[in-house]
Amino acid sequence: MELTYRPRRLRRTASLRSIVRENILTPSDFIYPLFIHEGNDIQPIGAMPGINRWDLESLITEVQRAWELGIRCVVLFPKISESLKTEDGVECFNEKGLIPTAIRCLKQEIPEMTIMTDVALDPYSSDGHDGIVSPEGVVLNDETIVNLCKQSLVQAQAGADLIGPSDMMDGRVGAIREVLDDEGFEHVGIISYTAKYSSAYYGPFREALDSAPRALSAKPIPKNKNTYQMDPANSREALIEAQLDEQEGADILMVKPGLAYMDIIHRLRQESDLPIAAYNVSGEYSMVKAAAERAWIDEKSVVLETLLSFKRAGADLILTYHACDAAQWLIDM
């Protein structure tokens, strides 16, 4: 055949392929999520093989390991004991609580590691919601933000580098920015969960933290988070959230979950010049693990392909439970 264009020319050898490669994955693209608890042991999470709840001592070892693999940011999630959970989640701004304590430990032991936090009430809420639930069963916006601001400040005071509001209350980024600035933490950044969808992919995470919505009293507790997390049917709405977060002072925008929302990552990349993060969430991790355990897929290839596809879609950063495995595979390549 007389073909002018033969795209296969550039695929012929490994070195040709490498010189025209458009995207690469490196360990510093990853943000490694870690679950911590108050005990003195390492607790495996049933629905997330390979992922544990760490106590403070083992947390330090694990973060050190991540650092040596080239990972430069971790995000901490707390499993709070039942006795500390309340309707208003005030434990979230206890300066001697689990998260501030862990941040201080890590900053002392591995000072260069970037520490990102999660800001929301759900781990601390006896109702299992990201905000305060009124007696009528409404998740209250402005009242919740008062506590989220206190939570953010306590985290910044402990040494957090990036504050990550995951609660989806309206106006929280601006309110947190103002409090941080007023208190002398203008250098602390905000990585906003900008487009966070009301997703079934968070199931294993809620097991890890025991944080699912639940009704313990007669109060009518919403069974899902549909009144604050976004409707999976919507994409234009993500642009509105992104504009608001930019105006309110977010430093990084996040899309969550990742895989089923690649179009949203791509759209935000086109609409914004801020760094974009994608959250490869717990359910996405567990599905890969389950199939790999049965030898139905090759775990390493599937994970690296998936993580690379987030970069291709436009993400600069990827929150992923595969972070350490993937970093090791990249080193070995």
Distance, CA of 47 to CA of 44 (rounded, Å): 9
Nearest distance from C-beta of residue 321 to ligand PBG, angstroms: 7
**Residues in region 201-230 near ligand PBG by CB under 6 A:** 202, 205-206
Which is closer to ligand PBG, CB of 120 or CB of 153? 120
80 secondary structure, DSSP code:
-
Closest by Cα among 80, 63, 6, 25 to 333: 25
Reduced to 3 states (helix: H, G, I; strand: E, B; else coil), residue 193 is strand
**Residues in region 184-203 near ligand PBG by CB under 6 A:** 202
Nearest distance from C-beta of residue 47 to ligand PBG, angstroms: 10
Residue of 79, 85, 225, 256 marked catalytic: 256
Residue 323 touches ligand PBG, criterion: CB under 6 A:
no
Residue 124 touches ligand PBG, criterion: CB under 6 A:
no
- C-alpha of 90 from chain center: 22
Nearest distance from C-beta of residue 42 to ligand PBG, angstroms: 19
Task: Give the helix, strand, coil percentages of the chain, each rounded to 5.
Answer: 45, 20, 35
Nearest distance from C-beta of residue 134 to ligand PBG, angstroms: 19
Backbone angles phi, psi at 291, to 5 degrees: -70, -35
Residue of 79, 196, 225, 289 marked catalytic: 196
Reduced to 3 states (helix: H, G, I; strand: E, B; else coil), residue 31 is strand
Residue 281 touches ligand PBG, criterion: CB under 6 A:
yes
Q: Is 300 a catalytic residue?
A: no
Q: Is 223 a catalytic residue?
A: no
Which is closer to ligand PBG, CB of 109 or CB of 310? 310
- CA distances in angstroms from 113 to 69, 73, 74, listed in the order given: 12, 6, 7
Which is closer to ligand PBG, CB of 35 or CB of 185? 35
Nearest distance from C-beta of residue 175 to ligand PBG, angstroms: 17
Contact pattern for ligand PBG over residues 142 through 181, marking x by CB under 6 A: ------------------------xx--------------
Q: How do beta strands 52-54 and 132-133 pair?
A: unpaired
Nearest distance from C-beta of residue 284 to ligand PBG, angstroms: 8
Residue 52 touches ligand PBG, criterion: CB under 6 A:
no
Q: How far apart are the first and last CA of the chain?
A: 37
> Is-cis flag, bond preceding 111, omega within 30?
no
**Residues in region 82-121 near ligand PBG by CB under 6 A:** 118, 120
Reduced to 3 states (helix: H, G, I; strand: E, B; else coil), residue 321 is coil
**Burial classification of residue 224, based on how many CB atoms lie within 10 Å of its CB (0-12 exposed, 13-18 middle, 19 or more buried):** exposed
**Burial classification of residue 163, based on how many CB atoms lie within 10 Å of its CB (0-12 exposed, 13-18 middle, 19 or more buried):** buried
Residue 32 touches ligand PBG, criterion: CB under 6 A:
no
Chain positions contacting ligand PBG, by CB under 6 A = 118, 120, 122, 130, 166-167, 202, 205-206, 281-282
- What is the set of active-site residues? 196, 256
